[in-house]
Amino acid sequence: MRTTLRGKLLPPVLAIVFSVLLCTIALVISGDNPLDAFGAMIGQLFRGTTAVDTLNSGAVYYLAGLAVAIGFQMNLFNIGVEGQYRFAAVIAAIIGGEIVLPPGIHTLVIIIVAVVAGSFYALIPALLKVYRGVSEVISTIMLNAIAIGLIAYLVSTDAFGVQVGNNIGTRPIEESGWMPGIPFGDNGTLFGFVFVAALVGFGYWVLLNRTRFGFELKASGESPTAATAGGVDARKMIMTAMLLSGGVAGLTALPELLGRDHEYLQTSPAGYGFAGIAVALLGRNHPGGIALGAVLWAFLDKSAVSLDNVGVPQEITTIMQGAIVLSVVIAYEIVRRMELAAEQRRVGRQLGRDTSDVAAGGSV
């Protein structure tokens, strides 16, 4: 139990410590005071709407991280979460803006459309993987680029876009399609989709740990050959895992779409899918770990604005995020080797005791 807990907690802790040390060195070299920089970042969390904004952004990163983690469980690198969530967001925004339904039903339809659109965009690399053996990494990278072009066309005035001030976006979603949040006065409004994200995380945990499908998914990821020998359909698992990953990816933009923006603009935020890869790695594909990684990632984003007040470039947070991604992979390998060595020592001691017992019994 202690070894398992160490294997789960130690790598991300080491990664965060290493990234802080690296940023400290970078700040010292540039002539800045690390204590002032880190103090400003922490202090920013308790100013204005930063705390609520961190949780809101954390929900977005959490959904992206879960989408990536589903693929990781099957040993699939779904780097296409970026394209899947953006494609799903624009389709959901278009349909949500074109229809008017009773409150609740309107919101539910938008959510369903986003899930279906995300799954559809993930279906393409899944089919290529299953029937043509095309690496999901290559196909999803290509589809990310295609998604950018598709979105640019769909949001243009030649298709479904409308002029919104100096910008172009989809038709605004009527209030009946919004998801209400929890207001905290001057401290901001917590997106209602934060709780939906938590439910998705709980469902992910139940799926993996309390269902036969989850067992088969993890078994296929650990050893496809052994899983196939045990009667698991590898093609079916790949298809299902990719569709689930794409469906969850489709939810990624909804916290902001339904809780704040209510339209998809050409300048809408991007990059959440790529950040989700880092968040999933940091959380080691565990829903609780992914949640902590998502909040940490969001905190670094939102607290960066405070660095200007102490004369420190905001890019220091980007350095920290990049260092976390690199060091967490190294930390996992170090801890894995430590656990392997500890297990070998334990087995060696056990064999030594058994040999001594046999020798003692023979002498009697």
Q: In the block, which residue shows the tokens 């102490």?
A: 310
Task: Kindly state whether residue 306 falls inside one of the protein's structural domains.
Answer: no
| CA 6/CA 166 separation, integer angstroms | 53
pLDDT reported for residue 351: 74
Q: What angle do CA 245, 79, 167 make, to 5 degrees?
A: 95
pLDDT reported for residue 3: 53
Task: Kindly state whether residue 292 falls inside one of the protein's structural domains.
Answer: no
- Short-list 75, 54, 207, CA closest to 129: 75
Q: In the block, which residue shows the tokens 């087995």?
A: 347
Task: Kindly state whether residue 161 falls inside one of the protein's structural domains.
Answer: yes
The number of domains in the chain is 1
DSSP per-residue string spanning 132-184: H---HHHHHHHHHHHHHHHHHHHTSTTTT-EEETTEEEPPPPPGGG----EE-
Task: Kindly state whether residue 318 falls inside one of the protein's structural domains.
Answer: no
| CA 252/CA 88 separation, integer angstroms | 9
Task: Kindly state whether residue 309 falls inside one of the protein's structural domains.
Answer: no
Task: Kindly state whether residue 13 falls inside one of the protein's structural domains.
Answer: no
Tens digit of each residue's pLDDT, the chain (364 residues): 455 556 666 777 777 888 888 888 888 888 888 888 889 998 998 889 999 999 999 999 999 999 999 999 988 999 999 999 999 999 999 999 999 999 999 999 999 999 999 999 999 999 999 999 999 999 999 999 999 999 999 999 999 999 878 889 999 999 999 999 999 999 999 999 999 999 999 999 999 999 998 888 888 887 777 777 888 888 899 999 999 999 999 999 999 999 999 999 988 989 999 999 999 988 888 899 899 999 999 999 998 888 888 888 888 888 888 888 888 778 777 877 887 887 888 887 777 666 665 566 655 5
Paired tokens of 94: 């278009």
The residues that bridge with 281 in the sheet, in sequence order, are none
Task: Kindly state whether residue 204 falls inside one of the protein's structural domains.
Answer: yes
Task: Kindly state whether residue 160 falls inside one of the protein's structural domains.
Answer: yes
Q: Which domain holds residue 104?
A: 73-270
For 33-74, the three-class secondary structure string (H helix, E strand, C coil) is: CHHHHHHHHHHHCCCCCHHHHHHHHHHHHHHHHHHHHHHHHC
